């Protein structure tokens, strides 16, 4: 059971990592294409990421070790697969026969591919046929060549039967996709995507999440780049071991980037992603933007960098910000109180006028 669960665990973990990396762009695209982000659409994209990871992990993992490696051959005929199906029914226990279950699993494995092509890209049976065959062939060739030469020979069987059943699965998935209403298919921009929508606390919370997640990813990337540069370009192992410069980059790069974005646009990355803007107030624009930065994600990041993430003051700032998000009008929170501005949909006429 452990060996069977391993590919699933890897698929979920890698899917989660990729999902976190793509979360902010997906939110931004959804608000610009659909005008909002629903839990159903978020779950759809999350499931899609996990599926594509599972497609590879179940067909390539576990990788062989030096102790159990055996070269596999190739089955270039459909006859063995047909014999398996016929034999399973002939024995009278088809529903529990491993031979039939293997064929069924190969079909089911590619059903989501055809479904996604139909629902997400509005592509029909021909594309499902070509894509299913191409993806399956790529996987089979990867297995046959020992992951393109990493291993001396193929460690899994190249099977024409798998190519056939996988392609059938993609076609079945495309047919199942027909049950999804046409209006819900595709990535095209909807007619009401640019229409203003109510500013809810959930939407404001999503903006905060985008800021926190985006800043963490940018900081982690900046620190990693600095460490790699020190190690491979400058060959300074002492600085790599100390990690002082890497930590400085991880802390200050997102602070500076978010400050620039706020000063230029008046909004944080999270505000931009969910189409929100602070509007009105009596403060000059530059002062309001600085306060927007300091009373929001900027203040949190600055306190964490100067005092440490475990500082009591950092925790208090986060707690107050969280409480005010749910107790102030439309969730304008601490930035709204500090600037004297209201939180509005950036697509509204007043917000457009203020933005210009």
pLDDT averaged over consecutive 10-residue blocks of the chain (356 residues)?
59 74 89 84 82 79 67 74 69 66 85 90 91 91 80 78 91 93 76 86 94 94 91 80 86 96 96 94 92 95 90 93 92 93 85 51
Task: Give the burial class of 335: count Cβ atoms within 10 A of its Cβ; 0-12 exposed, 13-18 middle, 19 or more buried.
Answer: buried
Distance CA 15, CA 233 (A): 32
Beta bridge partners of 278: 343
pLDDT at res. 70: 72
The backbone torsions φ and ψ at residue 343, rounded to the nearest 5 degrees and listed phi first, read -95, 125
Beta bridge partners of 344: 277
Closest CA to 226 of 246, 244, 206: 246
pLDDT at res. 100: 75
Is residue 205 within 8 Å of residue 37, measured between CB atoms? no
Closest CA to 56 of 115, 13, 96, 103: 13
Q: What is the DSSP string of 10-35?
A: HHHHHHHHHHHHHHHHHHHHHHHHTS
pLDDT at res. 276: 95
pLDDT at res. 2: 47
State the residue for tokens 């026969």. 97
pLDDT at res. 67: 59
pLDDT at res. 1: 40
pLDDT at res. 192: 80
Cβ partners under 8 Å of residue 119, min gap 6: 177, 180, 184, 185, 186
């Amino acid at each position: 059971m452990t060996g069977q669960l391993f590919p699933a665990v890897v698929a979920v973990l890698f899917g989660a990592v990729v999902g976190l990396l793509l979360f902010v762009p997906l939110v931004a695209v959804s608000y610009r294409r659909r005008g909002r982000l629903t839990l159903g659409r978020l779950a759809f994209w999350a499931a899609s990421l996990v599926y594509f990871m599972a497609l590879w992990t179940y067909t390539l993992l576990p990788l062989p070790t030096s102790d159990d490696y055996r070269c596999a051959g190739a089955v270039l005929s459909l006859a063995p697969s047909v014999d398996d199906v016929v034999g399973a029914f002939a024995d009278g226990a088809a529903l529990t026969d491993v031979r039939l279950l293997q064929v069924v699993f190969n079909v089911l494995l590619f059903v989501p591919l055809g479904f996604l092509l139909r629902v997400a890209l509005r592509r029909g049976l021909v594309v499902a046929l070509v894509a299913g065959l191409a993806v399956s062939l790529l996987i089979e060739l990867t297995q046959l060549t020992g992951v393109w030469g990493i291993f001396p020979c193929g460690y899994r069987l190249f099977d024409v039967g798998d190519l056939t059943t996988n392609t059938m699965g993609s076609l079945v998935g495309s047919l199942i996709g027909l049950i999804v209403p046409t209006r819900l298919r595709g990535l095209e921009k909807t007619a009401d995507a640019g229409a203003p929508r109510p500013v809810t606390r959930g939407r404001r919370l999503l903006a905060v999440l985008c800021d926190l997640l985006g800043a963490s990813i940018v900081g982690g990337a900046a620190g990693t780049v600095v460490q790699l540069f020190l190690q491979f370009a400058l060959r300074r192992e002492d600085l790599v071991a100390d990690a002082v410069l890497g930590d400085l980059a991880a802390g200050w790069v997102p602070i500076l980037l978010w400050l620039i974005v706020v000063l230029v646009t008046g909004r944080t990355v999270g505000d931009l992603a969910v189409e929100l803007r602070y509007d009105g107030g009596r403060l000059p624009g530059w002062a309001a933007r600085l306060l927007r930065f300091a009373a929001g994600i900027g203040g949190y990041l600055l306190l964490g960098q100067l005092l440490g993430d475990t500082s009591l003051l950092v925790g208090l700032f986060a707690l107050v910000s969280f409480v005010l998000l749910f107790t102030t009008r439309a969730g304008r929170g601490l930035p709204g109180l500090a600037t004297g501005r209201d939180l509005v949909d950036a697509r509204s006429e007043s917000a457009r006028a203020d933005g210009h």
